[in-house]
Structure 1
Amino acid sequence: MKSLWVILCLLAGVGQAEPLFRDLSHRLPEHRYLGGWNHFVGGGVAVLDCNGDALPDIFAAGGTGPAGLFVNQGNFTFAAHPLPDIRATTGAYPIDINADGFMDLFVLRIGQNMILMGGPECSFTQATTEFPLLPADQWSTAFSAWWVDDGRPHMAVGNYVDLKNPEGPFFACDSHEILTPLADGYHSTPLEPGFCSLSMLATKDASGAQRLRISNDRQYYVRGGYEQMWDLKEGRFLVASDGWEKISIWGMGIASRDITGDQREEVMLTSMGDQLMQMAQPDGTYASAPFSIGTYAHRPYYGDDGRPSTGWHAQFGDMDNDGRVDLFISKGNVDQMPSNAIKDPNNLLMQQANGTFREMGQSAGLASTERGRGAALADFDGDGRLDVVVLNRRAPLEIYRNETPDTGYWLAVSLLQPGGNRHAIGASVTLNGDMQRTIIGGGHAGGQAGPLHFGLGAATQAEITVEWPSGHITHHKAAANQSVTLTP
């Protein structure tokens, strides 16, 4: 691994606290992700502040049941909030699509996708007719969005099995769509071939180019399918001559974060069996992490079921605020798939001082063996520690409060700028050497809108550099243990 990575890890300045989480799922209204075989996948959660109180709220897909909106009342209590009766949902992503300051939701469905426009006090109005998007007969499971220079979001929608194909579902993957804003709506451009996407992420890759990574489910592959990367500027898929290696996995989710301190983001791809970490290289390509890094999480780490694991949502976050980025992966059998573990606990992989990761899910209290799907890491009580919410297939929604003692200092950073890209999607924020980007996409069928969370270790002050989407760079200083909002 890179020497700078080791130096930064050793300089984090605090010993690693033992992570500890308390299951407070009983404080959530009852909610499950339901349905038959066409809801084996999906089950995403969207985390957003829908009423401006700085406490994150939760939208949860319902599958064949109704979607749910659970408003944070403080003290880790949540109340069900009225929503339109939306069924056949697979997930959702927050996005301020009209830059009015209220977070909206792009809702993925089997059938017509929906735009829910946010308003005061967590009110949502269906506005799909105002945003002509996609036909009503597709099975959508992935989403990402970015801004160019026209003030309105460009969006990508990933579709799973082609419901119109009489030979399906096996080897019948649907194409994907790029949605480009027009004066009277959006123009849809198909991305072909499609290999049954379950996650998409538009961001700068290891080369610094703006690209759309597509992770595909090998279970329903057309023969010869693989992971894909679409160049957003050139409008083409990368090939071998670009340094793009064809990798075939059962792709379920994408997470990205710079864990080595070189300002290039590593990528975590969840799958069946090996969970694949790709390390960003100086030449702009990616290389598989060595097995010794400890992130492959290929089998359950406790219990007597030695069959391969099934990973879904992955997300990086500093769970103990020691300045080293950790990794959470939700796990769970597709349904009763005999080739894979039935009791498959979620992973909490804590980064050590030498840059490797140690599994601590069981001792931390996060080792649920329900059929996990979408998840999110967010500070639900404002105490500076990242908590965990997990949506399960045919089992109750779970939430865990982070009660890790003796954590380091922290800072939460929000960005605001004029114009259509109000929340500066595509910006990078570097804080004491730790870089994050503002993104919409990735995960498994769900994402979040809110502050970027940084663990500071022993540092009580932070030096912050923001590269805004325009390329303008600003520098800031802030004291630890607070939330700050920065502007250009």
Structure 2
Amino acid sequence: MGRQVQRLTAILALGWSMGCQGEPPAVRFTDATDQAGLSFIHENGAAGQYFLIETMGAGGALADFDEDGDLDIYLVNGFDLRGLDTPPINLVHREDGLFWVAPAAPSAADRSADPADYAVALAPVAGVEPRGNALYRNEGTGTFVEVPNAGGAADKGYGMGVAVADADNDGDQDLYVTNYGPNALYHNRGDATFTRSRGVEAPQWSTSAAFFDRDNDGALDLYVVNYLDFTLATNKICGGFIRTDDAGLRAIGEDTRSYCAPSEYGGVPDVLYHNEGEGTFSDVSIAAGIANPNGKGLGVVAWDWNEDGYQDLYVANDGVANFLFQNAGDGTFREIALQAGVAYNVRGQAEAGMGVDLGDCDRDGDWDLFVTNFSRETNTLYRNEGTYFKDVTAASGLGRPSWLYLGFGTAFFDYDHDGDQDLYVANGHVLDRVHILQPGVRYAQEHQLFRNDGSCRFADVADSAGSWFAQEQVSRGLAQGDWDGDGDLDLLVTNCGGPAKLARNHDGNGRNWTSIKLVATAANRDAVGAEVRLVTGSLEQRRLVRSGTSYLSAGDRRLHFGLGGHERIDLLEVQWPDGTIQGFRDLPADQNWLIEQGRGVQNE
């Protein structure tokens, strides 16, 4: 079923009227995967037994790992699960191979478990040779070459997601890989070769992760989102399920066996690691108050929501209330999502929170929150009202178009350089037989592009934005960044059991832009938590340096602004994570700027 038919089905089902907002942009997106030399195909290892892990991954990242000025690609992989008739509880990966944990070993929910503690219980996985994760180096022309063994970060666990940051403040981008089973932190030697660090394995089923400085000590801490208390050995047989209008679940015949709903499994507490310096971390989850066993997390973002100088955390949970952990400034957090208006949607329902991002969509100076959800739910836009959030999904125009789609990766980004933060949603269902279970819904789905009119009202303009949007994909991760170096924002998309893809933005509507890389000297080097205010004429914009966001993925941390027809920047003001403010005036447009704290601005 095509995009137009699917939209019409949603409109008729809910009685919405057709409407349009503004004129569609002239920007086009095209599939540049083959032209760019990207040949990665995700292995979900579908075993015919419907292990839930098969349908949830995996993510990818755009970052400059070799510090040569352009964006490289890191992609997370799974491996073949076929033939596991009586699978053991879990798996671990070591330098000498991949091993199953015997049933007598600690369960995946045991946060104190370390693979080294039960190595005697391990058995080699017969006949499985995982390809592992992949690293592609950008040649500087928008073409990519695969790096053997991912520069030492191939990992070879059953991968889920990735977070990227300078975890040790040595000037390069490190990798944190989440897995079904123990995770891994890879320290970058500075040349896109990596060494693995211990102490942050988190043996649960982890999904997204975010680096942030919880105590303002200048070292990036690490928040790891965990999903379900699921093991291969306890995999359940489920018929299909339908999410009804009241968000209930209805089981149907076993002849349509599919993946179980998350309600079939318990939640798992998330993990918070404190950065002790010199690349070492300690688990402070319980002391910090974030070890809530009721979470079933998939997405996370960190920012100072109440502007008290400390970074807070938002976690998108699947089928249960979302979390907003407010930082008390003393090392502890208080969960306030219900009071703040972001635990549920406007109808008081928990949704299937997948991906998440922040943006100032109404240009009022604070950060609004967008969460992707399940089909026959809507994606949700929470507008920041200063002391609380308001669900404005319907009024924003984002409700109706998302009704029959299942959204995962997402990003606020100004794709047409008009000065507004637009929205992208990467769609794809988790149920391969969903067309039977939910008439009108498909497994492979088109992506959506929502153009912002400047007041937090959006119109889906995908039909007029190029051939890329005609593709039906089973997408999961999304990362944005100018990977071809032409000044506009492109995309990296990951697909479950399919090829990773690159979407090229053609010309960004021919308007002006600027890009800003921040290097902090009195805070974490990546300047995570810094805000930039940019003024051109009567147009004022803000961007936030953040980690996490989207789903299982990491985009370029440089801040990108569309400037419309303005050829110069009147004011560029940086508020650094330590609270100091630095300003620059009368800068030319169409430049990549590098700003080091306490020093001047230079062309990157």
TM-score w.r.t. length of structure 2 = 0.72
**Counterpart selection for 1:139 from 191, 201, 205:** 205
Task: Give unpaired runs (5+ residues) of structure 1.
Answer: 1-14, 219-224, 300-306
Written as runs of structure 1 = structure 2, the 5 A alignment for 1:62-461 is 62-64=77-79, 65-82=131-148, 83=150, 84=152, 85-87=154-156, 88-127=158-197, 129=198, 132-136=199-203, 138-147=204-213, 148-163=215-230, 170-182=264-276, 185-190=281-286, 191-205=291-305, 210-218=311-319, 225-233=320-328, 234-238=332-336, 240-241=338-339, 245-247=343-345, 248-272=350-374, 273-282=377-386, 284-296=387-399, 298-299=401-402, 308-336=404-432, 337=434, 338-339=437-438, 340-352=441-453, 355-364=456-465, 365-367=467-469, 368-404=471-507, 406-418=509-521, 421-432=524-535, 433-461=540-568
Inter-partner Cα distance in structure 1 for 2:230 and 2:455 = 48
RMSD, aligned CA? 2.3
Q: Is the contact between residue 368 and residue 384 of structure 2 (CA under 8 Å) also seen in structure 1?
A: yes
Identity of aligned residues (%): 23
Q: Is the contact between residue 28 and residue 397 of structure 1 (CA under 8 Å) also seen in structure 2?
A: no
Q: How many residue pairs are counted as aligned between the two chains?
A: 457
Corresponding residue SS for 1:329:
strand
Inter-partner Cα distance in structure 2 for 1:366 and 1:358 = 18
Q: CA deviation at 1:351?
A: 1.6
Closer/same/farther in 2, CA of residues 362 and 71 from structure 1, 3 Å limit: farther
Closer/same/farther in 2, CA of residues 178 and 40 from structure 1, 3 Å limit: same
Q: CA deviation at 1:246?
A: 3.9
Inter-partner Cα distance in structure 2 for 1:343 and 1:163 = 25
Inter-partner Cα distance in structure 2 for 1:406 and 1:443 = 25
Q: CA deviation at 1:353?
A: 5.4
- State the match for 1:38 in structure 2: 53
Question: For residues 127-164 of structure 1, what are the alpha-carbon distances to aligned partners after superposition, in whole Å with 9 as ceiling and x for unaligned?
Answer: 2x2xx12443x110021121133232221111111136
Q: For residue 107 of structure 1, what is the amino acid of its counterpart?
A: V
Inter-partner Cα distance in structure 1 for 2:173 and 2:508 = 33
Question: For residues 272-294 of structure 1, what are the alpha-carbon distances to aligned partners after superposition, in whole Å with 9 as ceiling and x for unaligned?
Answer: 13011111103x11111152422
- State the match for 1:28 in structure 2: 37
Task: Give unpaired runs (5+ residues) of structure 2.
Answer: 1-22, 47-51, 80-130, 237-261, 598-604
Q: For residue 77 of structure 1, what is the amino acid of its counterpart?
A: T
Q: Is the contact between residue 48 and residue 56 of structure 1 (CA under 8 Å) also seen in structure 2?
A: yes
Q: Is the contact between residue 206 and residue 281 of structure 1 (CA under 8 Å) also seen in structure 2?
A: no
Q: Please identify, of 413-422 and 472-481, the stretch whose mean Cα deviation from structure 2 is larger.
A: 413-422
Corresponding residue SS for 1:358:
strand
Q: For residue 413 of structure 1, what is the amino acid of its counterpart?
A: I
- State the match for 1:475 in structure 2: 583
Inter-partner Cα distance in structure 1 for 2:135 and 2:476 = 17
Corresponding residue SS for 1:291:
helix
Q: Please identify, of 447-456 and 159-168, the stretch whose mean Cα deviation from structure 2 is larger.
A: 159-168
Corresponding residue SS for 2:464:
helix
Inter-partner Cα distance in structure 2 for 1:68 and 1:152 = 28
Corresponding residue SS for 2:542:
strand
Q: Is the contact between residue 377 and residue 389 of structure 1 (CA under 8 Å) also seen in structure 2?
A: yes
Q: CA deviation at 1:200?
A: 1.0
Q: Which has the higher contact order (CA 8 A, sep 6+)?
A: 1
Q: Is the contact between residue 321 and residue 343 of structure 2 (CA under 8 Å) also seen in structure 1?
A: no
Q: Is the contact between residue 229 and residue 268 of structure 2 (CA under 8 Å) also seen in structure 1?
A: yes
Question: For residues 267-314 of structure 1, what are the alpha-carbon distances to aligned partners after superposition, in whole Å with 9 as ceiling and x for unaligned?
Answer: 1100013011111103x1111115242223644xxxxxxx72100011
Closer/same/farther in 2, CA of residues 472 and 448 from structure 1, 3 Å limit: same
Inter-partner Cα distance in structure 1 for 2:464 and 2:338 = 43
More strand by share: 1
Q: CA deviation at 1:356?
A: 2.3
Corresponding residue SS for 1:264:
coil
Mapped pair 1:57 → 2:72: yes
Q: For residue 237 of structure 1, what is the amino acid of its counterpart?
A: E
Inter-partner Cα distance in structure 2 for 1:123 and 1:95 = 15
Q: Is the contact between residue 71 and residue 81 of structure 1 (CA under 8 Å) also seen in structure 2?
A: yes
Question: For residues 319-338 of structure 1, what are the alpha-carbon distances to aligned partners after superposition, in whole Å with 9 as ceiling and x for unaligned?
Answer: 11111211111000114133
Q: Please identify, of 35-44 and 378-387, the stretch whose mean Cα deviation from structure 2 is larger.
A: 35-44
Inter-partner Cα distance in structure 2 for 1:111 and 1:89 = 9
Q: CA deviation at 1:202?
A: 1.2
Closer/same/farther in 2, CA of residues 266 and 61 from structure 1, 3 Å limit: same
Q: Please identify, of 414-423 and 46-55, the stretch whose mean Cα deviation from structure 2 is larger.
A: 414-423
Question: For residues 225-281 of structure 1, what are the alpha-carbon distances to aligned partners after superposition, in whole Å with 9 as ceiling and x for unaligned?
Answer: 311111122422116456665441100010101011111111110001301111110
Q: CA deviation at 1:29?
A: 3.1
Q: For residue 238 of structure 1, what is the amino acid of its counterpart?
A: I
**Higher CA-based Rg:** 2
- State the match for 1:5 in structure 2: none
Q: Is the contact between residue 416 and residue 423 of structure 1 (CA under 8 Å) also seen in structure 2?
A: yes
